Amino acid sequence: MLEIGAGPGAGTEALRRLAPRVTSLEWSHAFAVDLAAKNRNSVVQGDAAALPFAERTFSSAVAVLMLHHLRTRTAQESVFRETFRVLRPGGSFFAFEIEDNLLHRVIHIGSVFVPIDRADIADRLSAAGFSGVKLDSRVGGFRFSATRVNRTSVDVARNS
């Protein structure tokens, strides 16, 4: 499993209980160093918009409360494309994000807040190559998931 935007590691331990192997990616060098010192997981300091992993490396990827910290929608879309690239066929991408509202805007004064719009997330993920997009509201935000389908199987089925 790839944890995108691990931050100080608030969700890392929970992910370790769910997956046999977790690789945590964090942009902040300080957070990455601290997380590596506290954890037995693989921790990589890097940019989620240019993932430092080979194609088809992971069976799943998770981004919790990090996409809205990217500076632009274009950067978010790069993360979607990169996540698709590093997932194996059949792999799933899961994310949880907060709503765009006054409270969240106030909380983010002085930091980046580019909210994910639930109305167009399916189109944005589809443009990155994902299919089977699911969206579900939760208290405080919403979650979504999508799958990297094995294009070869789809193409074969269409041409049969």
Cα–Cα distances in angstroms (integers) from residue 91 to residues 20, 36, 59, 139, in the given order = 15, 25, 5, 26
The share of the chain scoring above pLDDT 70, in percent, equals 93
The rounded distance, in Å, linking the Cα atoms of 41 and 22 is 6
Is the CA virtual torsion 114, 44, 84, 133 positive or negative? negative
Work out the pLDDT band at 160, boundaries 50, 70, 90: very low
Q: Average of pLDDT values for 75-99? A: 97
- pLDDT value for 125: 97
- pLDDT value for 38: 84
**pTM summary value:** 0.89
Q: Is the pLDDT of residue 140 over 90?
A: no
Q: Is the pLDDT of residue 8 over 70?
A: yes
Work out the pLDDT band at 1, boundaries 50, 70, 90: very high
Q: Is 29 exposed, middle or buried (0-12, 13-18, 19+ CB in 10 A)?
A: exposed
Q: Average of pLDDT values for 75-91? A: 98
| Residue 84 · residue 133 · CB < 8 Å | no
Q: Is the pLDDT of residue 157 over 90?
A: no
Sorted by sequence, the CB contacts under 8 Å of residue 152 that are 6+ apart come out as 89
- pLDDT value for 153: 44
**In 3-state terms, the chain is what percent helix, strand and coil (to 5)?**
35, 30, 35
